[in-house]
Amino acid sequence: MDKHAAFAGQHQLPFTLLSDQAGQVRKSYGVPAVLGLLPGRVTYVIDREGTVRHVFNSMTHIGQHINEALEVVRQLQAEQAA
C-alpha cells in the first residue's frame, strides 16, 4: 500500500488506488488465477459514476498497466474539464 501512496503522490492522482491484497475485488470482477495459482493482474479505470472505462489484463507487461491507465485517466480529466 505504501507503493500505491507513493505512486499516487508522484503523479498527483486525484483519486484513490485500490490494493486488493486479499483478492476479494479480483474475484468479484472475475479475474482468474494464472495456472490456478497466481492471481491475475488486471488494471481497471473506473470513472466517478462507477463505470469501468478501461481494462488492461497482462501478467507480463506490468509497465503498460500504468501507461494505459494514466492515459485513460488523462482523457477522462480532459472530458470533465471541457
Residues of the chain with pLDDT under 50: none
For residue 56, give the amino acid letter. Answer: F
> What is the reported pLDDT for 41?
79
Q: According to the model, what pLDDT value does residue 47 have? A: 85
How many domains, in total, are found in the chain?
A: 1
**CA of 55: how far to CAs of 6, 9, 60, 69, 81, in Å?**
23, 23, 15, 8, 23
- Is residue 13 assigned to a domain? no
Structural domain including 71 reads 23-81
Q: Using CA atoms, how far apart are residues 9 and 1, in angstroms rounded to an integer?
A: 12
In a domain, 7, yes or no: no
Please indicate, yes or no, if residue 62 is contained in any of the structural domains. yes
In a domain, 18, yes or no: no
Q: Is residue 56 part of a domain?
A: yes
What's the pLDDT at 1?
Answer: 57
- Determine, yes or no, domain membership for 44: yes
